[in-house]
Chain A
């Protein structure tokens, strides 16, 4: 049972434009959400996170939005750069109890120069 879903396996965006990556979750107990970026032959690296008490968190070109009622979060990258081309994983966890992260299946972003 996949509790975190990324329904778009791939996304292509022109350099300079906005990239929007989407993620949905089913477990209402999740209260902490993270985005990871993965290059080929490397492990995922932490990008940005958001707690359920917020609806937006911004870090430079990266902004994560959380809509708890819809159980949906999104990652906005603006402006997109060719170096952003990677696989992006959404992840979720519960702050209390087991500290495991539940990952989505990833979205491959390609930024076209």
Chain B
């Protein structure tokens, strides 16, 4: 059983489109995250979310929005896609705090053309 699953694995879309990436975890973790790995391979936090609090990295454009229908899901919606949004997006989950380490999904490679 996959612990953290993301879909789709690859996504190619045109500029200006709106797209979503789904993430589900079956670990019973309290907190979920979205990370972006850019062309320089830098993994950067975008959002962290538990059922109480959404923490947004202030550098993330408001075209990006997380949606959590329940504790096991945290989807990423992106509006008006731009070329610079091309990257690999990783979903992750953890118990409260990083002490147990994160469990990552396998990533979604987004290419905006």
User: Smallest CB-CB separation from B42: which chain A residue?
Assistant: A105
In the complex the two chains form, what is the Cα distance from A4 to B72 in whole Å?
29
Say yes or no: is A22 at the interface (Cβ < 8 Å to chain B): no
Please state if A46 and B102 are interface contacts (CB–CB under 8 Å).
Answer: yes
Q: Is A93 an interface residue (CB 8 A)?
A: yes
- B107 and A41 contacting across the interface, CB-CB below 8 Å: yes
Chain A 74-113 near chain B by CB (<8 Å), digits 1 or 0: 0000000000000101010101001111110110000000
Q: Are A95 and B106 in contact (CB under 8 A)?
A: no
- B103 with A46: CB separation less than 8 A: yes
Contact A95 B97 (CB under 8 A): yes
Q: Which of B36-52 contact A (CB under 8 A)?
A: 40-45, 48
A106 near B41 with CB under 8 A, answer: yes
Counting residue pairs across A and B whose Cβ atoms lie within 8 Å, the total is 65
Q: Which residues of B contact A102 (CB under 8 A)?
A: 45
Residue B69 CB within 8 A of the other chain:
no
Task: Please name 26 pairs of A and B residues whose Cβ atoms are closer than 8 Å in the assembled complex, sorted by A.
Answer: A32-B99, A36-B102, A36-B104, A41-B106, A42-B106, A43-B4, A43-B105, A43-B106, A43-B107, A44-B104, A46-B100, A46-B102, A49-B101, A91-B98, A93-B98, A95-B97, A95-B98, A95-B99, A99-B97, A100-B33, A100-B45, A100-B55, A101-B45, A102-B45, A103-B35, A105-B41
